[in-house]
Amino acid sequence: MPEAPTILVTGAAGNLGSEVVDRLEARGARVRCLVRRQAGVRAGAEPVVGDLTDPTIVRAALVGVDAVFLLWPLIDAASAHGLIAELAAAAPHVVYLSSTAVDDQAVRQSDPIAQVHADMEALLRDAGLRPVVLRSDTLASNARGWAAQLRAGDVVAGPDMARTAVVDERDVADAAVAVLLADRGQPVHGPYVLTGPEVLSRADQVDRLGVALRRRLRFQAIPADLARSRMLADGRPERLVEALIAASARRPESGRITDHVERLTGRPAGTFAQWAMDHAAEFS
């Protein structure tokens, strides 16, 4: 029997990364997790504790690794050069989690979050890594950010965003695992554009969450200045807050729905309504 592959998962304690880790373990892979705190590591996975911007940590994390699930949770790519150099030296199979907001035709992207993903895709390609790029739509799990407001009342207040085909992070994790465990001899495809089955506004999402919670909930769009001061008061880093405000103001609506989840996983993408049902307990 061939030996189980060793897969490095970055962002392994996060909403998406933790789903990827669970699936890889269930498929018998050896999983190494790059995390900032050991407490975030699932039982059975090997932790490497440190920062993605630290080349020494990345080098240690890459020893003996066959494939990497790479995400880049920072707002610019300037601090990624050390990581890219280490990846280029180790040359694993790289699966990069990008964003559907990346516009291949644009010289500059609509906002800093779309820009950092476009820049990361280019850095990985230019380093000769031939990454498989998964461009994810808005993750359903972002709705967890509304839990505190929904424990206090029936209104979710925040900056509005253009409508997109919100995708269940469990589908993105399934797609990522399919690519991570695929035979490396297969030709590289992509980018894959991973969407859910419906284009939803924030208000649509809050509505569906209300159905799952059996409550009448409402989304209230608030102006940029108020959104900025609330996010800063919540302790979010200033650059991230500015990037989120810019995405709210400038990112165009995307009506695009693809079958790429199904192509990679063999089954259609789930709805946000189902996500809300499955996670209702987290909001009470």
Ligand X SMILES: NC(=O)c1ccc[n+]([C@@H]2O[C@H](COP(=O)([O-])OP(=O)(O)OC[C@H]3O[C@@H](n4cnc5c(N)ncnc54)[C@H](OP(=O)(O)O)[C@@H]3O)[C@@H](O)[C@H]2O)c1
CA 90 to chain centre: 24
DSSP lists the bridge partners of residue 10 as: 34
**Distance of closest approach, residue 51 Cβ to ligand X, in angstroms:** 4
Q: Which residue is nearest to ligand X (CB)?
A: 14
Residue ranges in 131-190 that form contacts with ligand X under rule CB under 6 A: 136, 138-139, 141-142
Helix (H) or strand (E) holding 18: helix 15-26
Dmax over CA atoms of the chain, in Å, equals: 59
Using CB under 6 A, which of 1, 37, 185, 186 touches ligand X?
37
The rounded distance, in Å, linking the Cα atoms of 95 and 120 is 12
**Distance of closest approach, residue 1 Cβ to ligand X, in angstroms:** 33
Q: Where does 50-108 show beta strands of DSSP type E?
A: 67-70, 93-99
Q: Which stretch binds ligand X (CB under 6 A): 7-15, 201-209, 217-225, 237-245?
A: 7-15
Contacts with ligand X: how many residues (CB under 6 A)? 23
Residue ranges in 89-118 that form contacts with ligand X under rule CB under 6 A: 97, 99
The rounded distance, in Å, linking the Cα atoms of 54 and 258 is 36
Angle at 77 between CA 75 and CA 81, to 5 degrees: 145
**Distance of closest approach, residue 121 Cβ to ligand X, in angstroms:** 12
Residue ranges in 52-71 that form contacts with ligand X under rule CB under 6 A: 52-53, 71
Pairing of strands 218-221, 155-158: parallel
Using CB under 6 A, which of 4, 22, 27, 51 touches ligand X?
51
Residue 279 binds to ligand X (criterion: CB under 6 A): no
Binding site for ligand X (CB under 6 A): 11, 13-17, 36-37, 40, 51-53, 71-74, 97, 99, 136, 138-139, 141-142
